[in-house]
Structure formats: structure tokens, C-alpha cells
Amino acid sequence: MNIALISIPKIEDNRGNLSVIENDVLPFEFKRVYYLYDVPSGAERGGHSHIEQKEFLIALSGSFDVVLNDGFEQKTVTLNKPFEGLLINAGIWRELNNFSSGSVCLVIASAVFDESDYVRDFDEFLKEIKA
């Protein structure tokens, strides 16, 4: 599956830790940053794949699960460390669920929002992958 857990440099200090994401941390140049928060208990986010866009997800606070599917295999990754993120390359279906109270999901994307880059129907996703 075309995903990877990537460690984010962490500078430890007795006053608190600092992590920095610069262009050398990610295998793509980022164009957009957004975050999910106040996700109600039992709610799910995601439910799509991208045709070209790559994304890097980080649990800045709390935890959540990322359910990934490449059309052949399904895998669940739990994110719960602010110094580790999940790289999701294009062509991977993702669903985010099991958000803990107070969790914050930061997403760093390789492109600005473009609705035409989204595949929002799972059956259509499977057809495109297997074609």
C-alpha cells in the first residue's frame, strides 16, 4: 500500500517540545494546510480518495484511526503522536474515525482544493483502481 509513517523532527526541551515540518520532511511541496477538530463522537470524516493529491495527516492532539484501502488491501493506522504523521499518496481511499475527545487532525496537502481531484464514491473508486 502506498502509504508511510514519517517521523517529524522533535526538539525536546524541559519547557515543552517543538516539532518542525519543512519541505525536506515531506516527499512533496505543500500547497494547503487544514485541520479537523470538534469531531462529534461516532462521526467519520474522509470517505474519498484523490486522483493526484498527496496528503500528510498528523494527530496534533488526541487520537483517531485512518482506515485505508488501495482496492486490494485494507489497513487501519492509529495516529496519536504529534511528532509522527501518515503520508497518503494518490489513489488510496481513506476514512477517518474513532476520534478521541479533543482530537485535532492536521492535514498538509500537495495541492489546493480541487473538487475534480476527489473520488467520493467507493464503488467508482474500486472500478477505477481495477481498470
The question of whether 48 is a catalytic residue gets the answer yes
Catalytic-role residue among 1, 6, 45, 48: 48
Indicate the pTM of the whole model. 0.92
DSSP state of 71: S
* Listed residue (72, 131, 70, 68) closest to 97, CA to CA: 68
The backbone torsions φ and ψ at residue 87, rounded to the nearest 5 degrees and listed phi first, read: -85, 125
How far is Cα 79 from Cα 62, in angstroms, rounded to an integer? Answer: 8
Q: How do the domains of the chain map onto residue ranges?
A: 3-9+28-130
Give the model's pLDDT for residue 46.
Answer: 92
Give the model's pLDDT for residue 119.
Answer: 96
Give the mean pLDDT of 67-82.
Answer: 96
Q: Would you say 48 and 93 are in contact if contact means Cβ atoms under 8 Å apart? A: yes
Q: List the grid coordinates of 33.
A: 494546510
**What pLDDT digit, counting tens, does each position of 4-50 carry?**
999 999 999 999 999 999 888 899 999 999 999 999 988 999 999 99
Give the model's pLDDT for residue 89.
Answer: 96
CATH topology of domain 3-9+28-130: Jelly Rolls (2.60.120)
